[in-house]
Structure 1
Amino acid sequence: MNDPITNLFTNYGDLLLKNAGLLGAAFVVPLLWLAVYRRVFANIPLVVLLAIPALLSFSLLFQQQLFSVIIWVDAAIFLVATIDLFTLPGKRALQIEREMALVGSLKKQHRVTLHISNVSSRRLVIWLRDDAPAEMQATPDRFTLSLAPRSRTTVHYDLQPTRRGSFTLYDVHVRVRSRLGLWQRYLEIPQQSELRVYPDMKQLSEYAILARTNRLSLMGVRRTRKVGTENDFERLRDYTLDDNHKYIDWRASARRNKLTVKDFQTSQSQRIIFLVDCGRLMTGQSNGLSLLDHSLNAVLMMSYVALRQGDSVGMICFSDRVLKYVPPQGGMNQMNQLLHTSFDRFPELVESRYDEAFLYLASHCKKRSLVVLITNVIDEVNAHQIESYLATLVGKHLPLGVLLRDHQLFDAADRDPVDDATLYQAAAAAEILTWRHQVLRDLEHRGALALDVFPEDMTAPLVNKYLEIKARHLL
């Protein structure tokens, strides 16, 4: 006598087979709805379980009586999967807080801390990834965590910005799984944070530390300024046999347990104006940064040194027009103005208008200043403009032209030729370098100072040039 349930499955077997498309849609539509509206997806264990009845279906080719067994297996898997679906944790089970500084430096590691709390009464296994912008590299970029009930944990990762500007980190992306692991859900925990990426500011703190320990030579900075015998206090240093005894600081000597003397500098409050080219000539790349990025790093470093010396610093950013002007002022608060002006300034694919920049300089900066023009030279047209406009400042201001070198050009000239093509390239590069050298000599002959440097090596030579100008009292 046949089992009535088996007969029921057998009677409806043909009906189910004839409506296989409708049956498939009955399974696919709920899965699509879960994926689109709930961001719930089948996990690998569920896929493996669903493969079992699929493999058993091939046995129907040989024995039709196994149809009822397959139906039972399907029903059991469906019931277990449905029950496990309701064990998926939601957003309320997790609390995430992001902790980070609001200001970062270009190409420097920026530490980010995530505090994750499991407020549910069950253990959770989560996969976590923060919303790092495309312009930043996160290390590590994701975490796998096992959270005990009612627990809190902390993870850290480093962001390395590859571009300056203002960025927003919106959500923390989390993947959770159900109790049996058959389902997984993607959650977005809102946690908005702002990050402003400035030019390299960590070099400023490094300079301050090395200056206090008399180790500026490690940064390539030479102390060429003549030390005065009266006026402003500069620093403390170890006593030498040639020092005057009246300049011994006895308190510092007792504290350091060695004779210590005071150094003084002549008081010379001077003005420095930076003209920073933000046009197409500064769009080139060197060591992963644009020429403008390297220029701003060097400008901020020299500004920091000048402000510590008591000088006033200002800046004009220009392309086909004057983009931003920071009036020259003294005091360390001026660094904030320079940073806010430069952090979101990018090179533009336009021809630079030197006439607009120098006209603006003439109308807004009438006192004698050290005018530092940072730009690039690639042809006779812009070389003639740079030379003529810098020459017009001689007498009223002290002009300094900083021209950035191209690695490819210098490498081509230094490369040993192995065939005719490399020989012609080396000859062309050598001819361009000879012309470039002549441009620099013409600038010096017309009374302007010139500095020819590679972009990534610009900071130390620029600071040394400034200290040399101070030592020779050229202003």
Structure 2
Amino acid sequence: MKNFFRKYYTDLFLGTRLFIAIGVCVTLFLFSFFIPILGDLPYFVFAVLMALVFVDLLLLYLTERGVFLRREVPERLSNGDDNELKIYLENFYGFPVSIGIIDEIPFQFQKRDLWFTTSLASREQKSISYLLRPTKRGEYDFGLTRLYVQSPLKLVSRRFNITGDKIVPVYPSFLKMRQYELMAVSNRLTDIGIKKMRRVGHSMEFDQVKNYVPGDDYRTINWKATARKGDLMVNSYTDEKAQHVYCVIDKSRAMKMPFEGLSLLDYAINASLILSSVALIKEDKAGLITIAEKTGSIVPADRRPMQLNKIMDVLYKEKTRYLEADMEALYISIRATLKQRSLVVFFTNFESMSALERQLPFLKRIAKFHLLLVVFFENTTLKSLSEKPAENVEGIYIKTIAEKFAFEKKLMVKELTKHGILSMLTPPQNLTVNVVNRYLAIKARQQI
């Protein structure tokens, strides 16, 4: 009896139509006391209702597994991107059904209203798609999927609990990385905001000797090859390859600040992954260093096919620390790891000039041996406050303070430039495009 109760009664829910019908029966019984002409009509209506409920129960419970469901989740999710998930449905009943679906998605999304409704004819198949945007890396636990099935009578509904427990890891933004890879391979990076850089002078990387065509530079004519072949031949050059590009990520408390759901650390991680991918496509060697109160992970620069997966696996585990970055440890790590002149892209954040001055001596030492690009973030909230007109005395005070902080950021750029350090002040949402643009500009100008 207990098993029967657990199997059937706990999954039985009364529908809206049944409550309306019960209300009609109660009304008829009530009026029958005052209107004798109604006679046995209330009893007849109630009997018909009970018969319909019994038929509805038979329709729903005679088939053991009336509806098939499968949740289709990717093996991993991309942080900060819209990831597509699907729910596949198939109706095994011999009649059309109406279905309500509750999908128990991970608690990190903080969504309790993920409810889908659909209808299926007999033997019909259907897929429902929806998007999820994770904002933290780590493991996400998916729970049950609950179906509420109604027959055409819609008096009661039967619940199916589909076990779909699955733990899915959320990795740095690999969806955008693939998009940038495709754009870079097809030379269509301009479609997503990447500027086309004019090459300055000639690269020292010799490619081949080819026949002259109108438009080739006369200065590249190879006179010896021309004399041997009897036709004009020119030397062809290509971008220098196998240059070292290191992304250095600050994991200290300065990178904890949130922006549109993601922390600055997550923006830096996503940009580092994409920059490493573009560098490998350009046949450079990509590496990674993370730093907080001590040196974190170090991935030596390489351009083997598995290098990008190695970098992604390291970035997946990184978390924000709550102490200040140890720049001396970073300098020692760079000197020990980087054996030749490299491009070092340092992702960090400064909110005051004093914070920059504490790190400046070590940044100058790094810049003596490598091409250092310091990337820090523009506070978009303060910028919007500084541009908003003040309406009262309090507004004037807030606007003045916001303008002061915004001006300090510009002073930081000038201070770094004064010491021969490349810098970039960027809003978080434009970080990836701006960093890739700067890398391509450095390559075009042959600064490494």
Which TM bucket (shorter chain)?
Answer: 0.7 to 0.9
Letter of the 1:58 counterpart: L
294-303 or 206-215: bigger deviation: 206-215
> Which of residues 148, 156, 163 is equivalent to 1:175?
148
Structure 1 residue 145 displacement after superposition: 1.7
Q: Which amino acid aligns with 1:160?
A: L
Deviation for aligned residue 1:440:
2.7
Using the size of structure 2 for normalisation, the TM-score is: 0.79
Q: Secondary structure at the match of 2:26?
A: helix
Considering only CA atoms, is the larger Rg found in Structure 1 or Structure 2? 1
Q: Structure 1 191/79 Cα, relative in aligned 2: closer, same or farther at 3 Å?
A: same
* 1:200 corresponds to 2:173: yes
Q: CA RMSD in A?
A: 3.9
Counterpart of 2:365 in structure 1 is 392
Q: Deviations over 1:314-357 (max 9, x none)?
A: 22233444443333222342221222222454545554444444
**Residue number among 419, 441, 453 corresponding to 2:392 in the alignment:** 419
- The answer on whether the counterparts of 2:79 and 2:170 sit within 8 Å (CA) in structure 1 is yes
Partner SS state of residue 72, structure 2 = strand
The one-letter amino acid paired with 1:391 is: K
CA distance in 1, matches of 2:312, 2:429: 19
Mapped to 1, the partners of 2:148 and 2:380 lie a distance apart of 46
- Give 1:56-455 correspondences, 5 Å limit: 56-59=28-31, 77-78=49-50, 80-89=52-61, 92-133=65-106, 135=108, 142-148=116-122, 151-165=123-137, 166-178=139-151, 180-193=153-166, 195-212=168-185, 214-218=187-191, 219-226=193-200, 227-228=202-203, 231-232=206-207, 241-243=215-217, 264-343=237-316, 345-455=318-428
Cα distance, 1:388 vs structure 2: 2.4
The aligned amino acid for 2:57 is L
Distance 1:262 1:203, change over 3 A: farther
Aligned to 1:15: none
> Within 1, Cα distance between the matches of 2:45 and 2:112?
45
CA distance in 2, matches of 1:72, 1:214: 77
Distance 1:446 1:284 in 2: 28
Cα distance in 1 for partners of 2:377, 2:35 equals 82
For 1:80 and 1:266, the matched residues in 2 are separated by: 78
Q: CA deviation at 1:157?
A: 0.9
Deviation at 1:179, TM superposition (A): 6.0
Tell me, yes or no, if structure 1 residue 43 matches structure 2 residue 15. yes
Q: Distance in 1 between matches of 2:365 and 2:266?
A: 28
SS in structure 2 of the partner of residue 163 of structure 1: coil
List alignment gaps of at least 5 residues for structure 2.
Answer: 223-233
Q: Distance in 2 between matches of 1:101 and 1:144?
A: 23
Residue type matched to 2:206 in 1?
A: N
The answer as to whether partners of 2:331 and 2:366 remain within 8 angstroms in 1 is: no
TM-score, normalisation: structure 1: 0.75
Structure 1 position 113, deviation (Å): 3.6
Cα 1:122–1:377, aligned 2, differ >3 Å: closer, same or farther? same
Change (3 A) 1:450 1:63: closer
Cα distance in 1, alignment partners of residues 32 and 46 from structure 2: 15
C-alpha distance after superposition, 1:381-426 (max 9, x if no partner): 4322331221221323332211111012223333344433333333
For the 8 Å contact 1:387–1:442, the answer to whether it is kept is no
**Of 124-133 and 179-188, the range deviating more from structure 2:** 124-133
Give the distance between the partners of 2:91 and 2:406, measured in 1 at CA. Answer: 64
Contact 2:185 2:281 in 1 (8 A): no
* SS at structure 2 position matched to 1:87: helix
Amino acid at match of 2:308: M
Post-superposition offset of 1:68: 8.0
Shift of 1:195: 4.1
Q: 1:66 to 1:383 in 2, by over 3 A?
A: same
CA distance in 1, matches of 2:398, 2:197: 40
> Kindly, what percent of the aligned residue pairs are identical?
22
Unmatched runs of 5 consecutive residues or more in structure 1: 1-29, 248-260
1:156/1:421 CA distance change after superposition, 3 Å: same
TM-superposed deviation, 1:117 = 2.4
Decide whether the 8 Å contact of 1:141 with 1:157 is kept in 2. Answer: no
How many residue pairs get matched?
426
2:325 and 2:435 map into 1 onto residues whose CA distance is 23
Equivalent residue for 1:470? 443
Moved more, 96-105 or 385-394: 96-105
The structure-2 alpha-carbon separation of the partners of 1:348 and 1:229, relative to structure 1 and needing over 3 Å to count, comes to closer
Moved more, 64-73 or 196-205: 64-73
Distance 1:91 1:131 in 2: 23
Between stretches 369-378 and 121-130, larger displacement belongs to 121-130
Q: Classify 1:57/1:352 alpha carbon distance in 2 versus 1 (closer, same or farther; 3 Å).
A: farther
| Distance in 1 separating the partners of 2:99 and 2:407 | 63
For residue 286 of structure 1, report the CA deviation from its aligned partner.
3.3
SS at match of 2:163: strand
* Higher alpha-carbon deviation: 416-425 or 334-343: 416-425
Does the 8 A contact of 1:279 with 1:320 survive in 2? yes
Q: Secondary structure at the match of 2:85?
A: strand
Deviates more, 1:455-464 or 1:124-133: 124-133
For 1:418 and 1:68, the matched residues in 2 are separated by: 74
* Deviation for aligned residue 1:292: 2.3
The 1:72/1:382 distance shift into structure 2, 3 A limit, reads: same
**3-state secondary structure, aligned to 1:191:** coil
Counterpart residue identity of residue 397, structure 1: H
How far 1:44 moved relative to its partner?
1.6
Maintained 8 Å contact 1:130/1:141: yes
1:115 Cα deviation from its structure 2 partner: 3.0
Partner Cα distance (2:108, 2:337) in 1: 37
Secondary structure, aligned partner of 2:410: helix
